[in-house]
Structures are given as C-alpha cells and as structure tokens.
Amino acid sequence: MKYVNLFVCLLMLLMVGCNSNNKGKTEKFQKHRDKIINVKDKIVDIKTNVLFGSCNLNIIDDILIVSETKPSGDKGIRLFNKNTFKYITSTGIIGKGPGEVTRQGGIKVDIKNRVFWVSDHGKMVMWKFPLDSVLNNEMYKPTIYLGLRKELFIERFDFLNDSIALGKAVRVLSNSSFEMAMAKLNLNTNKTGVYGYEHPEAVGKKTNSTFKLSLENNIYVNCYAFCDLMTICDLEGNLKYNIYGPDKLNNRGNKNAYFYGIDFINKHIIASYIGDVDIFFNEFKRPEGNFPSKFLVFDMEGNYEETIETGSKFTFFCIDEDNNRIIAYFADRENPLGYFNLKLN
C-alpha cells in the first residue's frame, strides 16, 4: 500500500510538472519593447486629386483598394494602382436601391479569387464585389450577398478556403449589449458558429480584437484592443501562444487602448499599437478617440523584434509585400495617404 501511495504522488508531481512546462511554453510575457526605429522623416506622401476621408486599405494583385469608413460622395470605394498610385476607378454606389450600399462598413479581400466583400450595416448584408466586374463597369452593382442579421455575425475575417472564412464575430447579447467571439463562417450555407481558442480572462469589452490569418504559416492571430494581449493559434483553433505586453490584462475601466490593426510580411507579424489612453481631450478640450503612431514587429512565435515609430497618428494600414512597404492613412498629416519602406530581416 505504501508503494501504491508513493507511485500516485510521483504521478501527480509529474502531471503538475508537465502542465507547468506546457504553460511556460505557451505564455510569453514581454516587460520591455524598447528597440525603437524612427521613420518619421522617411514617410513618402501619396498625392492624388481624388478626395476621400479616413479609410480602410487593402491590396489585391496590383490594386490598392481604399474604402472610406464614412463615405461622403456617391461612391465609397476607390481603386488605385499600388505601384504608381494612379487612380483607376471608384465603386460601391451609396444608396438604398438594389445593389447599393446604405451604410458602408468594413471590407475584406479574397486574394485568391480576386474578390472583395463589403459590409453594409444599413441592410445588414455583405456584398460580393468581383474585382474584374468592378474594373470593367464603373456603375457595377453587386447581386450576391450574405446576410448579417443574426445573433452571431462575422465582421473581421480572412478566407481559410473557397467556402470557409475564419474571424472575429459580433455576438449579440441583448438589444443594447454585445461581445466578440472567434467564429467560422460557411460561405455556402451562410451559417456561423463559434470556433477555436478564446482567452478565458478576455471577457466583455476585452473580447474586442483585430484578426488576421496566414495560410502560409498555418496560424491566425488576434490582437486585443482593450488588453495588452496577442494570441496566436493554429488554423484548427488550438492555442500556440499568449503574448502579454507590459500591462497584460490589467486595464482598469478599459481606459487604455492597445492594438489597432495587424498584418503579415514574410515571417513577421506587424501590429499597430497605441499603449495609451483610449480617449483624450484635444486643444479645444473636446474628447477624441486615440489612434496609434507605431507598429510592433514580432516573429511568427510572438517574440518581440522591434518598434517602428512613425511620429504621426494613423488609422488603417496595409502591407505591400511586393514593394516591401507599409501604406497608411495618417490622421494628422497634410497629405494623409503615405507610405514608408520596411527594412526587416
């Protein structure tokens, strides 16, 4: 009996040791991110006669897609040559008629099939825009859409394959409250279900995160807006790493903002980062939402590499991998659209 008890104790110690080792491998804490690369004087203005406000930026082939967050004209999406920044055409007719966008939301690109999807928060649908149709018809109106009017609708996503999208969905809790959850959307059936790992302590408002998927590296990444957290999972939804910044999940009252956007280039994760108050008071003592001025660069295992400081506040960005540069919309520059070259190993 004595030997049985001893064996049980040894087995329990072994299990505790294994769990501790596994946790040590998945939990990464970064107290200092202080390797600063300043590119303030290296930003190149992109000058165009086409007027637009704050916008999302995406790339398909040689096309830079600029989609306004609050369109003011008769169309909400502009297309440019990404190499020369020459204007090509506009699409996304604003209106209430068939195939028109009532209240334009986010945009997601299917690079493989040369298609982009546009959320319409007025009609609660996502419109499908084939790139070739847009380029051949300046008055193109989409006819194919996916419905968003459900308790769990995917908002930030990338394409796993031709029929499945993974991303972050809005989960409606009541008429006045919601949270976000990892989800999988079947494009053929328009059915959405929860999917994959969620950090157990990132709840409520802290569920808000930006999402990006990399087929090449078999991972997806969530960067959180209201906690200093980035999670890396494999495409089956299994956790690989939780990466904590200096503040970790300690954001009392959610007064601080952290990650804002994310993308990949080669073997690097690039995330825009605030790391300061979410709301501040401007020179006129009016409250304003804060924006990032810097990018954090990580490797594919979430190890910190460097910080790129732009010296200007920007809203959205995209990476032009062919030309090895970041294109961004800067909120405080005379020419808001600009780019700078990347120098990563």
Q: Select 151-309's CATH number: 3.40.50.12160, 2.120.10.30, 3.40.50.11540, 2.40.110.10.
A: 2.120.10.30
Report the pLDDT value the prediction gives residue 294, as an integer from 0 to 100: 98
Q: Is 23 exposed, middle or buried (0-12, 13-18, 19+ CB in 10 A)?
A: exposed
Report the pLDDT value the prediction gives residue 322, as an integer from 0 to 100: 96
| β-strands 294-299, 287-289 pairing | unpaired
Q: What is the DSSP letter of 43?
A: P
Is the pLDDT at 23 greater than 60, yes or no? no
Arithmetic mean of pLDDT, 153-166: 92
Q: Looking up tokens 């998945």, which residue turns up?
A: 26
**How does DSSP assign 153-203, residue by residue?**
EEEEEEESSSSEEEEEEEEE-SSS-EEEEEEEEETTTTEEEE-S---TT--
To the nearest 10°, report the CA torsion of 91, 338, 210, 236: 80
- Give me the chain's average pLDDT, please: 90
Domain ranges within the chain, ordered by starting residue:
151-309
Nearest to 202 by CA among 173, 233, 165, 231: 231
3-state DSSP assignment of residue 65: strand
Q: What percent helix, strand, coil does the chain show, rounded to 5?
A: 10, 50, 40
Q: For residue 73, what are the contacts with CB-CB under 8 A and spacing of at least 6?
A: 51, 52, 94
Report the pLDDT value the prediction gives residue 198, as an integer from 0 to 100: 92
pLDDT band at 4 (very low <50, low <70, confident <90, very high): very low
Nearest to 292 by CA among 258, 343, 245, 325: 258
Question: pLDDT tens digit string along 238-253?
Answer: 999 999 999 999 998 9
Question: pLDDT tens digit string along 199-230?
Answer: 999 999 999 999 999 999 999 999 999 999 99
| β-strands 229-234, 268-277 pairing | unpaired
Tokens of 146: 């996916």
Tokens of 233: 């999972």
What gap in Å lies between CA 170 and CA 189, rounded to an integer?
A: 18
Tokens of 201: 């302590």
Q: Using CA of residue 308, residue 309, residue 312, residue 314, what is the dihedral sign?
A: positive
Q: Which amino acid is at 121?
A: H
Is the pLDDT at 174 greater than 90, yes or no? no
What gap in Å lies between CA 245 and CA 33, rounded to an integer?
A: 8
Arithmetic mean of pLDDT, 187-192: 91
Is the pLDDT at 291 greater than 90, yes or no? yes
Question: pLDDT tens digit string along 119-140?
Answer: 999 999 999 999 999 999 999 9
What gap in Å lies between CA 111 and CA 127, rounded to an integer?
A: 16
Tokens of 141: 């109106």
Report the pLDDT value the prediction gives residue 17, as an integer from 0 to 100: 45
Arithmetic mean of pLDDT, 259-264: 96
